[in-house]
């Protein structure tokens, strides 16, 4: 019975039901997601991907004018990269999120370094946009100040940037 319930919940995630996605992550843990991917089941990423896009779109006020039209598309392409996809949905011990919010923030830092986000934007301003309730006091602020440590993730992001005409430094 429990496995049938897990399978049904996983199917709801695949359909894009984010609230059910959050429930399965809390009840079953992220390992269930990875176990199912290894077995060849579809990744529950449609609703989760949309959650990430909605989250990063909060930064739109500080996106450079020349990248505003393609900002969401850049993010969608980043989320499709294998190096990113295999880690972005593992939220670890982070609470109140369906995805690895710190990794999203670190990738956002790369957007800042390469000029997609206006250079003068501080991590405090970005934290206030991403997490309006706590702003500068939210833990995501620390992640906004550093790029990802994972070299494969950085390489994948840089490749997407170059594909979209962003000058990578």
Provide CB contacts within 8 A for 59, sequence distance 6+. Answer: 108, 111, 117, 126, 129, 130
pLDDT of residue 14 exceeding 80: no
pLDDT of residue 70 exceeding 90: yes
As to burial, measured by CB atoms within 10 angstroms (0-12 exposed, 13-18 middle, 19+ buried), residue 45 is: buried
The residue-averaged pLDDT of 25-50 equals 53
pLDDT of residue 136 exceeding 60: yes
More confidently predicted of 14 and 49: 49
CB atoms within 10 A of CB 98: 23
pLDDT of residue 83 exceeding 60: yes
What is the pLDDT at residue 77? 97
More confidently predicted of 101 and 27: 101
What is the pLDDT at residue 22? 53
pLDDT of residue 103 exceeding 60: yes
Contact between 71 and 116 (Cβ < 8 Å): yes
Angle of helix 151-163 relative to helix 71-80, nearest 10 degrees, comes to 140
pTM of the full predicted structure? 0.73
Contact between 46 and 15 (Cβ < 8 Å): yes
The residue-averaged pLDDT of 146-168 equals 95
pLDDT of residue 32 exceeding 50: no
Average pLDDT, the chain: 81
More confidently predicted of 98 and 134: 134
Please state the separation of Cα 39 from the chain's center in Å: 24
């Amino acid at each position: 019975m429990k496995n049938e319930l897990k399978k049904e919940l996983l199917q709801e995630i695949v359909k894009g039901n984010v609230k059910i996605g959050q429930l399965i992550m809390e009840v079953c843990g992220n390992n269930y997601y990875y176990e199912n991917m290894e077995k060849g089941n579809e990744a529950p990423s449609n609703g989760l991907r949309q959650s990430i896009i909605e989250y990063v779109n909060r930064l739109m006020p500080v996106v450079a004018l020349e990248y505003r039209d393609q900002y969401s598309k850049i993010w969608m392409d980043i989320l499709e990269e294998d190096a990113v996809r295999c880690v972005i949905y593992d939220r670890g011990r982070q609470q109140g999120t369906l995805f690895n919010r710190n990794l999203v923030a670190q990738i956002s830092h790369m957007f800042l370094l390469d000029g997609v986000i206006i250079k003068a934007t501080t991590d405090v301003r970005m934290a206030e946009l991403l997490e309006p309730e706590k702003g500068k006091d939210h833990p995501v602020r620390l992640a906004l100040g550093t790029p990802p440590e994972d070299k494969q993730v950085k390489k994948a992001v840089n490749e997407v940037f170059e594909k979209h005409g962003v000058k990578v430094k």
